[in-house]
Amino acid sequence: MSLTHAILASLDFQPMTGYDLKKFFDVSVSHFWTTTQSHIYKALDDLEKEGWITGELIVQEGRPNRKVYRLTESGRAELRRWLTTPLPPAPVREAWLIQLFFSHASTDEEIIALLEARGRMIRDILETYETQTQSAVPADLPPGRERAQALWRMTLDYGIAFYEFELEWNQRMLERVRNLPPQSDSHHA
C-alpha cells in the first residue's frame, strides 16, 4: 500500500497531525498494513511539496506546537484517481517460508516445532482480529459513516480469512512433515 495514498485517504476523513495519523493507522489499518512515525513525517513533507495537502502550524501554550494537515482539492483528485485504479497483487515475501524451504538439514522435530510455533502465532492473531471491533471511524464523520465502517469490516474479514487459510495449511503441513523422506546423513555446505 502506498503510504502517501493512505495519508490522503485518512485526511479525507478529517484534518490530522502526523502523530494523529500514526494513532489512526494503528487502530484502523494495522491488521493489514503498518508504518512508522518517521515514514509518516517524510511522506507528509513530500505530499505538502506536491501540493496535495497543506499544513497549518497551531501554536500551543506550554505544549509543543502542532502542525495539522488538510487535503487540498488536487490531493482529493489524486486520491480519487488512486482509489479507482486497480492495483496488481503484491509479491509474497514471507521470511518464515525461507526457513521452511531450506530446512532439509533440520530434523522432523525441529520443522514441526517451527510449524507449531507459527500456528500458535496465527491463532493469537486470529483471536485479536475476531475480537477487534475496528471502531476507529471517528464518531463525528459526515453522513456515510456506516458505509466506511462496512468497508473497513470487509478488510478485517479478509485478514481473518487469510490467517484461517494459513492455519488450515499449517495443520496439513504438520502431517506432511511427519511423512517426509528420511534425512540424509550429509548435507552440502
Q: What percent of the chain has pLDDT over 70?
A: 90
Query: What are the backbone dihedrals phi and psi of residue 170, each rounded to the nearest 5 degrees, phi first?
Result: -55, -45
* CA dihedral of 4, 138, 29, 9, whole degrees rounded to 10: -20
Which residue from 185, 179, 2 is spatially nearest to 79, judged by alpha carbons?
2
Q: What is the pLDDT of residue 152?
A: 83
d(CA 173, CA 176): 5
Q: What percent of the chain has pLDDT over 90?
A: 62
Model pTM score: 0.76
Please, which pLDDT band fits residue 186 given cuts at 50, 70 and 90?
low
SS3 104: helix
β-strand partners of 127: none
Instruction: Say whether pLDDT at 90 is over 90.
Output: no
Average pLDDT, the chain: 88
Q: What is the pLDDT of residue 136?
A: 47
pLDDT, tens digit, 9 for 90 and up, residues 29-85: 877 888 999 999 999 999 999 999 999 999 989 999 999 999 999 999 999 999 999
Please, which pLDDT band fits residue 121 given cuts at 50, 70 and 90?
very high
β-strand partners of 53: 71
* Better-scored residue on pLDDT, 189 or 161: 161
